[in-house]
Amino acid sequence: MITFLGTEDGIAANRGANPMIDPRSRDRIELATYRDAFRRPDWHSGAIVFSDLERLRPLEVSLATELWKRLSASGAPVRLLNHPTRSLLRFALLRRLKALGINDFDVWRADEDRGGMRFPVILHGERDHYGPIGGLIRHRTSLDRALDRLLEEGRALNGILVIEFCETRGPDGLYRKLGTFRVGERLVHRHMYHSSHWCVKTRHGNPIGPEHSAAAIVDEEEAFMLAENFSPMVSEVFRLAAIDYGGMDYAFRDDGIRVWEINTSPMLGLPEHNPPGTDIFERYVGRSIEVKHEALLALDPERDDTPFWIEPVIKPRAAAAPETGAGWRRLFGGRRARGAGVS
């Protein structure tokens, strides 16, 4: 069994896509919210992926870490992917890559001292997947005004990142956002998006000038998606981030790569655009999905779904008051009460 743990939003999105999941893996995939997982005593052997880590709140990270410990100590034949605290998420990853010289742009939380910042910058929520907040900010006074507006809207600045803009436009005037997934030991190319605008979010809706050939763009993406070779730096960044399952967004520049983030959400369904039957799906999107599912099934090669049990991280009586000292002791300590079940 391959169990994905995620937030309510992430799991809901993938449950909606469940009919589109490859039939070979549909009956081997289980989707569970962290809310349920923290109260759950019964599990299946195989692989358990801690996904959606970037959306977890601090208390949930602590609970997920305790769950990891209990699953790891269970003695069951289970493989755990994406440690809740050892995996480097958006802020920590960008800081680490800047320190190592892999990225040449830096990042700050909006509520910390930002001395030495290089403009222009962009704003991005630390825990969301909605893309940049607004456009490029070119001056410190404009940054201060933008942050004041967010405060007025009720946004906490410690959840907002200020990221130096990194210019990656190619000689032809196009920006390219590349996506590569890591699934256990396998790397799978996920996308190559083109745009005349610096903010490249998806394949569709990006402005492309008439001077660029749509056919040439599709040919370039096909060559990338079907390539068997991967940049050694992509593997190295996944290793540095300690992320076993996730999708990296990055770009090539000069002789290296520039990394924006690694997203740990599952993305199990078929693409909304270019579904089966379209030319692009038949040319390369379908093959990419097939390779990803082959890698996914390899996480549990023995098809093991042997049940095992652990002490639930949250016991029913403690769920109402986890913030108190007594509540924390009930969450993490003590023996399981006789007859206790899942709430």
**Domains of the chain with bracketed CATH:** 2-87+301-332 (no CATH), 106-164 (3.30.1490), 175-297 (3.30.470)
When mean pLDDT is compared across 26-30, 196-200, 273-277, 333-337, the lowest value belongs to: 333-337
Beta bridge partners of 42: 309
Q: Establish whether the linkage from the previous residue to 322 is cis, with ω within 30° of 0.
A: no
204 confidence band (pLDDT: 50, 70, 90) = low
When mean pLDDT is compared across 142-146, 176-180, 308-312, 327-331, the lowest value belongs to: 327-331
What pLDDT is stored for residue 41 in this prediction? 96
What pLDDT is stored for residue 330 in this prediction? 39
CB atoms within 10 A of CB 139: 11
What pLDDT is stored for residue 18 in this prediction? 52
Residue position matching structure tokens 């690694």: 262
